[in-house]
Structure formats: structure tokens, C-alpha cells
Structure 1
């Protein structure tokens, strides 16, 4: 199963800047846990349109774009396909979380997925790679892969998601 190895959030709701490996979200109420989960859902959710408003920008500052980058590891064969995503493959050092733009032997191969929303409120989903940018190559995940990676959130209304009986 694909895993989030690193999350980077900029200018989203109450989060001005967050760079973190992610394992578990713990904390008192109103500290940003749901905002982090919403950011993950915005980036990985399999939907063609998302509802974003000026109020989703940190301190209503629409001059600085919302950016959510998820670096995914433990990739399956489809995401490791050189034909589909080879130019976007990167590597991560597990102990430090440092991402290198080239995949390297002995390091985990990862993909970095970005969602950027400017003041026009139009979401742009792309894969990140310095090599691809230098070659003028841009693309996102295929719709099929977006659907496969789309998260499910279980919360207070879990009984509606998983009815008993």
C-alpha cells in the first residue's frame, strides 16, 4: 500500500507552512489536524473539481498560492512504471526525509504530487521533478491512479459509511 512519506503545505487555512514526515496526527482540538487531513484529501481525492474559497487561504492572503505536496513511497508496480512516471521518480533518505530528484540505488523511489491553487481558485494537480521541469515536461497522475490512491476518511459519522447489519 502506498504511503505518505512527506507532506508540505503552504498557505492553507490555519497553516502558513508545514514540512513534515507524517506518521500520526495527535493534539488537542483546534490545532490543525483536520486541516492537514483536508489538505491530503484535496491532493489525493479523486475528483475533477474542488470547492475552494478565499477563506481557504491562510489569513485570506490570496497573493500567496495554496500549495500541497505529498511525497508518496512504497509505490506499487503501476506507479513505479518507467514508461508512465519514470521522469518523475525521485528518492528519499528514510532517516532524514531528504528528497533527491534522481532515484538512487539503496534509497526508496518516491513520487511527489503537488496541488497548487492561485488567486483564480483554479486547482492545478501536477507531479514534481526538477528533471521534468528542465525538459519542459508536465503531467499529473492518471485518473485511474488518482482513483486508486484516493483516501477514505472515517469520522464521527462512520456508521453512515459502514452501516451495521
Structure 2
């Protein structure tokens, strides 16, 4: 099963900017109401969901700021072999350094082969 290595959110609902590298094991989102917990989960769902079309409204842009796009990038690791296929996913494969939490543009020595899904509105 693939695991979330990095989640980046920009200008989406309650989140102006977020870069989250979940720790090993179980991670919890804790905070008061309207602090962005559901927004984070919705962002993950938007990247992973199998939908042919998405609809966004004015309120999906942080502070109604249409001058900056909504951007959600989800980097997944612990990939099954078919997801590492260069012919199918080569343009989207990246290298993830678990020690630093950095995502490199190409898989390489000492890096975990990962896959980045990105949604920009």
C-alpha cells in the first residue's frame, strides 16, 4: 500500500500554505473547528479520488484570492512495482529522501522512488 510522503497545499480553503511530511506510523490531525483539518483530508482525496471532473467554487480559494491558483501536490512512497513502471509513470516519478523530507525531481541512488500527483486550479 502506498504511503503519503509529502503533502503540499497552497491557497486552498483554510490553508494558505502547508508542507507536511507525515511521520512513520499513525498521524493525527488535531485542532479546533475551522482550523483546516477537513481541508487537508479533502486535499488528499482530491488528488487520490478517481473522478472525471471536479467542481470548485469561489470559497475553495483561500481568502477568495483568485490571483493565486489552488495547488495540491501529494507525493506517495512505498509504491507497488506497477506504479514504478518507467513507461507508464516515468514523467511523474521522483526521488524522496526520508532523512530530509525533500523531494528530488528524479529517482536516484539513496532515494526512495516515489510518485507525485499534482492538482492545480
TM-score with structure 1 length normalisation? 0.67
Q: 1:48 aligns with which of 30, 33, 52?
A: 52
Q: Which residue of 2 aligns with 1:98?
A: 102
Runs of 5+ unmatched residues, structure 2: none
Q: Which residue of 1 aligns with 2:7?
A: 7
The alpha carbon displacement at 1:109 in A equals 0.5
| Structure with more of its chain in strand, by fraction | 2
The alpha carbon displacement at 1:77 in A equals 1.2
Q: Which has the higher contact order (CA 8 A, sep 6+)?
A: 2
The alpha carbon displacement at 1:59 in A equals 0.5
Q: 2:41 aligns with which of 29, 37, 43?
A: 37
Deviations 1:13-44 (A, max 9, x none): 01100011123322232211101001111111
Q: In 1, distance between residues paired with 2:43 and 2:90? A: 26
Q: In 1, distance between residues paired with 2:91 and 2:62? A: 33
* CA-atom RMSD in angstroms: 1.2
Q: 1:88 aligns with which of 78, 86, 92?
A: 92
Runs of 5+ unmatched residues, structure 1: 118-165
Q: 2:65 aligns with which of 61, 64, 71?
A: 61
Larger radius of gyration: 1
Q: In 1, distance between residues paired with 2:82 and 2:14? A: 35
Q: In 2, distance between residues paired with 1:24 and 1:8? A: 17
Number of aligned residues? 117
1:77 aligns with 2:84: no
The alpha carbon displacement at 1:73 in A equals 0.4
TM-score with structure 2 length normalisation? 0.90
